[in-house]
Amino acid sequence: MFNLDEFFGYWYSVGFWKITRVFWYFLTFEFVRYVGLEFFVLIVYRLNGKKRARRWEAARQALWNENPLISIIAPGKNEGKHIYKLVKSLNEQTYRNVEIIIVDDGSDDKTPIIGRSLEKAGLIDLFIRNDARGGKASGANVAMRYCKGKIVLHMDADCSFDHDAVENILVPFYMDEKIGGVGGNVKIREADTLCSKLQSIEYLKTISTGRIVTSYLGIYRIISGAFGAFRMDALRQVGGWDIGPGLDGDITVKLRKSGYRIHFEPSAVCLTTGPKKFSVLWKQRSRWSRSIVRFRLRKHRDVMLPHQNFNWSNYIGFVENIFYNIVLDFKWFVYFFDVAIHYSRFLEIILPFNLILYTITGYLQMWAIYMFSERKKQEMKLLPYVPFMIFYVALFLRSCQTLAYLRELLFKTSYKDPWNPQKSSYQAAKYGY
């Protein structure tokens, strides 16, 4: 029977160093990175709010004075049912000087009919249908080829946007001319299953606040494909998107390597639909995890090597990404075995304490999220699910990621992923992309 007095008495009696020895993984890596560093940066970010607001307003004025044409592109397969809602959502935007280009990448549903109808009705400017599926990157590239705008907004067709999202994602380009890409704040739309609710919390932590931190530190490394803006000249300079999966991270790295700054804009809010089942989520996260190995460790490993265009912020961003995603993932298992071997008799005390630590951290992070959230009431409803996050992150995601990393490291399974057509994957593998 679990005794609370015994439990707290034990941790009180063992002292600080013993606790540090047992929870070294959490205290050394996770607490320092996700609580210490993040809170520090978020506080500084908050304190700089007024100064940032003045710069923001000036940039916003500059945007409206120029009022440039913006190209909105949405490539996808079998997304027909989402296109009309997407267009309606875009029609509500405060920024209206846009052209909308939808690419149908070999859909086998009614997408072509829907797309052509909307094009004929003048709701979208160009609908491109590729009879043979070429993959998401090829869809984005063909759209880019016909974009006439100064800035390209890449989005997923199943997304919808706050009424000022497009305007807000454009403003940073007028704050700093070296910015080549801006990432939007992607949140989960309908958190109606446990799977969706846990993803909602995860997105809030890793995107809504996590990316404020990485962007502030200059190590922001992935513009979500769901909602990202790119300068057209920068996009053309890097040759557009390369074959995925993980093409959104890839193009961000390409832009950074070309000397462009990347910015995250928390006020540019986009809502997307996450997988509602853990089985579907597993596949999605496996794909994302494989892409980290494929693009960070292989394709863009030169970022971590000394060369003519070596850039410290790129280097730090890469190292942080690889360390916290891949190295710590494996190291967690080292920690697990360490505790299991050395403290096997105390597991019934250690595991609950772990749960308490992570839950307290989770609530602290949620508090930070609310400080920056525009949907406080809605996101308040997620609070009861925070204790589940340890199981979601430590068990579900970690298992999924570790397996995906291993399979990619050993077997290069990303080249066999049906997410891309085999013809493209075969050629990508052949040339080592």
Partner 1 sequence: MLQHAAKTLSLDKILYEEGLSFGIVRHYRQIQPGFIRSVDALIVQPASGREFESILRELRAMPSPEEYLKPVFIVDSPAMRQGKHFDTDGFADLEDLSGAAEKVRKIQSRIDKLGSNPSLHEGFDTEVLLKILQYIFTRQTDLQPQPNRFSNIHYHYPFASYFLAESEEQRLLSIFRMAEKKGFLKGELVDKIHCCPECGSAHQNLRATCTKCKSVDIVEEDLVHHFPCANIAPVSDFERDGHDGLHCPKCDKSLRHIGNDYDKPSSIHNCNHCHHTFQQAEYRSLCIDCGGDIELHRLEEAYIRQYQLTAKGNSVVQTGAITGGEIAGPKLTSRNDGIYNLDVFKILVKQELMRTDRPERTGTLGQVKLEGLSLADMPEARQEAITQEICQIIKSYLKNTDVVSTKGIKSYYLLMSQSTLEEADQLKDVLAYNLHQILVSNLKQKTVQVRVFMERLARQA
- Helix, strand or coil for residue 245? coil
Q: Is 126 in the site for partner 1 (CB under 8 A)?
A: yes
Asked if 243 and 425 touch (Cβ cutoff 8 Å), the reply is yes
What are the C-alpha distances in Å from 244 to residues 60, 273, 280, 419, 428? 34, 20, 18, 8, 9
Q: Is 78 in the site for partner 1 (CB under 8 A)?
A: no
Q: Is 235 in the site for partner 1 (CB under 8 A)?
A: no
Q: Which member of 74, 90, 123, 128 binds partner 1 (CB under 8 A)? A: 128
The residues, any chain, with a CB within 8 Å of residue 376's CB and separated by 6 or more, are 370
Which DSSP symbol is given to 308? T
Cβ closer to partner 1: 101 or 393?
Answer: 101
Q: Is 110 in the site for partner 1 (CB under 8 A)?
A: no
Asked if 126 and 146 touch (Cβ cutoff 8 Å), the reply is yes
Residues 243-272 that bind partner 1 (CB under 8 A): 243
Q: How far is the CB of 253 from partner 1 (least distance, A)?
A: 16
Q: Is 131 in the site for partner 1 (CB under 8 A)?
A: yes
Q: Which structure tokens are listed for 323?
A: 């360390």
The residues, any chain, with a CB within 8 Å of residue 66's CB and separated by 6 or more, are 174
Q: Is 127 in the site for partner 1 (CB under 8 A)?
A: yes
Residues 397-426 that bind partner 1 (CB under 8 A): 423-424, 426
**Which of the stretches 126-134, 171-179, 311-319, 362-370 binds partner 1 when contact is defined by CB under 8 A?**
126-134
- Can you list the alpha helix ranges (DSSP code H) found in 23-153? 24-25, 38-47, 49-66, 80-91, 111-120, 136-145
Residues 134-173 that bind partner 1 (CB under 8 A): 134-135, 137-139, 141-142, 145-146
The residues, any chain, with a CB within 8 Å of residue 34's CB and separated by 6 or more, are 205, 361, 365
Q: Packing angle between helix 328-342 and helix 347-372, nearest 10 degrees?
A: 150
Cβ closer to partner 1: 21 or 416?
Answer: 416
Q: How far is the CB of 132 from partner 1 (least distance, A)?
A: 4
Q: How far is the CB of 103 from partner 1 (least distance, A)?
A: 9
Cβ closer to partner 1: 141 or 200?
Answer: 141
**Which of the stretches 29-37, 76-84, 236-244, 389-397 binds partner 1 when contact is defined by CB under 8 A?**
236-244
Place of tokens 């990202």: 228
CA atoms within 13 A on the CB side of 79: 24
Q: Which member of 80, 106, 172, 183 binds partner 1 (CB under 8 A)? A: 106
Asked if 202 and 124 touch (Cβ cutoff 8 Å), the reply is no
Sheet holding 227-231, edge to edge: 126-130, 98-105, 70-76, 151-155, 227-231, 179-188, 261-272, 160-161
Q: How far is the CB of 75 from partner 1 (least distance, A)?
A: 10
Q: Is 132 in the site for partner 1 (CB under 8 A)?
A: yes
Q: How far is the CB of 305 from partner 1 (least distance, A)?
A: 22
**Which of the stretches 132-140, 227-235, 370-378, 394-402 binds partner 1 when contact is defined by CB under 8 A?**
132-140
- Helix, strand or coil for residue 218? coil
* Binding residues with partner 1: total (CB under 8 A): 33
Identify the H or E element spanning 428: helix 422-431
Site of interaction with partner 1 (CB under 8 A): 106, 116, 119-120, 126-132, 134-135, 137-139, 141-142, 145-146, 239-243, 423-424, 426-428, 430-431, 433
